Chain A
Amino acid sequence: MTVPSTSTLTRANEQPVDGGRIRPVRHPGQWIGVAAILVAAALFVQFLVTNEKLRLDLVAGYLFERSVMRGLVLTLELTVVAMVLGIVLGTVLAIMRLSGNRVLSFVASGYIWFFRGTPILVQLLFWFFLGSILPVINLGIPFGPTFVEIPTNVLISQFTAAILGLGLNEAAYMAEIIRAGIKSVDPGQSEAAEAVGMSRMLAYRRIILPQASRVVLPPIANNTISMLKLSSLVIVVGLPELLTAVQLIYSRNFQQIPLLIVASIWYLLLTTILTIIQVRIERRLDRSVTGPRPVIRAAERQGTPS
């Protein structure tokens, strides 16, 4: 038998002196770490406050400036709409890929291959310039009569182009995240759902996707936070969201650093809110696994020997 150093072992006759109170293991390293972080934080704050070049007065002045506010709203709108489109279409694509149907699976794989494989900038510009390749969109029977003709530029505004670019691209990434989530659910679950007469779609909606959502939530939150910043690419279709708004200001007054701080403050705030929402949802979804047991009322317990 191997024995650690004899000094850490208790001899049989060792008696407790304070009624056997248990003293937890100490972690002195943690305290040293905390102290080091506090010192670093203090130095950073001092740098921020005393450095004249940062022009914190300008930061405060521009934080609520009108074009900055408009950019912030646009960033939010783009992120929300593109993510909703991405999640909905991504779910459809994931289910198509996993369906036994070869055609559906092939179409979904092709979509994912194309939209992940080409630069998002190109996709944004493609939707924006669709009007120049395809001036009118015809609704009707293919190769047959046309019922409605709509000029493409009317149908696809700057905002629509931005949403199509961001959302369709996001869907490709989302499809893979959701597919992984679905595959993480025990196959016994869909069997049990089928055995009680559920259709495949009902089983997805009520049984499989709710369970997959626990797994896919953290990566979806990741992608949403990325999207906040990725959406700045829509300047290529002429939309000034948050980052572009501050860039436009500093191109006039050359105060790059204060204005970039303005943008960062807003991005950090949005990220914080998203993180809080994520934690809330996660806690809700985990309730069934880690939640407290319900209380059994005494009246109910009578006659139930279980």
Chain B
Amino acid sequence: MTEPLVRAVNVRKSFGDLEVLRGIDLEINRGEVVCVLGPSGSGKSTFLRCINHLDRIDKGEIWVDGHLIGYRRAHGHTYELRPHEIAAQRRGIGMVFQKFNLFPHRTALENITEAPIFVKRQSKADAEARAHELLERVNLGDRADFYPAQLSGGQQQRVAIARALALDPTLMLFDEPTSALDPELVGEVLDTMKDLASDGMTMIVVTHEIGFAREVADRVVFMDGGVVVEHGPPRQVLDDPQHPRTRGFLAKVI
């Protein structure tokens, strides 16, 4: 398929007087892994949240898998989608948060089966069988009955990845998935993400892990001040940045 999986066209978003996204244009192909870098406050999280409509955009459009996110066009007019239609769109998009946001009152297994059972109406047995598979895949086959408080940060984040995968998303969004982890736990989460990338998952990863971006990303996007300043293959953007702001940022983080 040649049509990109994600297409953002002139996306704008303000919080009150503060314009956080000022016209983002970006296309992401199926199976591509894109790492988004940029200084704090540049709008990386906001952009990610707009892709699954956790934040609504003010102007422009975001298409995922042929669907206009959050809105419907008819006869030249744009209408807001109903909550259940937005919920249905979100099911195709997995999201992993910086602070894991696991459901603390549910075990690792229940965290994963929650949406398949109650949103997708799968049978409990099917959902649990699949959840066990996913736990194996993130190397936590023996932690099914643990509550989040009984897991390390790295284990919690891997359960969160499994939870996002349970709805068979076509796109995975990661917002600084390793920033809240102790240094020795970062590797296990990045390894899980690498596996996912090599399985062909389309991924947008906001991260400060330059090493991960260099090794895994097909493309690196550098954002600053609410716009995409430059993007390209990791070698090009990381080793030979064209824009002075990219150079300044990389000089600080590497």
Contact = CB atoms under 8 A, between A and B. Distances in A.
Interface stretch (A17-25, A47-55, A193-201): A193-201
Interface string B102-131: 111111000000110011100000000000
Interface string A293-306: 11011001100111
Interface in A206-241: 206-207, 210-211
Nearest to B155: A306
B118 A202 contact: yes
B119 A294 contact: no
A53 B95 CA distance: 73
Nearest to B105: A288
A202 B106 contact: no
Contact of A198 (B119, B146, B148): B119
A206 B145 contact: no
B134 to A, nearest CB: 13
Contact of A191 (B97, B105, B145): B97
A12 interface: no
Interface of A is mostly: helix
B139 A305 contact: yes
B133 to A, nearest CB: 14
A206 to B, nearest CB: 6
A287 B107 CA distance: 11
Contacts of B188: 306
A293 B148 CA distance: 11
Interface stretch (B22-30, B85-93, B237-245): B85-93
Contacts of B88: 197
A304 B139 contact: yes
Interface in A32-68: none
A141 interface: no
B143 A306 contact: yes
Contacts of B120: 197
B167 interface: yes
Given A288-B149, A289-B147, A192 B101 contact: yes
Contacts of A189: 101, 103
Central interface residue in A197, A199, A287, by most chain B CB within 10 Å? A197
Given A199-B84, A288-B147, A305-B139, 16 more contacts: A188-B101, A191-B97, A191-B101, A192-B97, A195-B54, A195-B95, A198-B115, A198-B118, A211-B103, A211-B104, A211-B105, A301-B142, A304-B140, A304-B141, A306-B140, A306-B155
Interface of B: 52, 54, 83-84, 87-88, 90-91, 93-95, 97, 99, 101-107, 114-115, 118-120, 139-143, 145-150, 155, 163-164, 166-167, 188
Interface of A: 186, 188-189, 191-200, 202, 206-207, 210-211, 285, 287-291, 293-294, 296-297, 300-301, 304-306
10 contacts: A191-B101, A192-B97, A194-B54, A195-B97, A197-B119, A289-B147, A290-B149, A291-B147, A294-B150, A306-B188
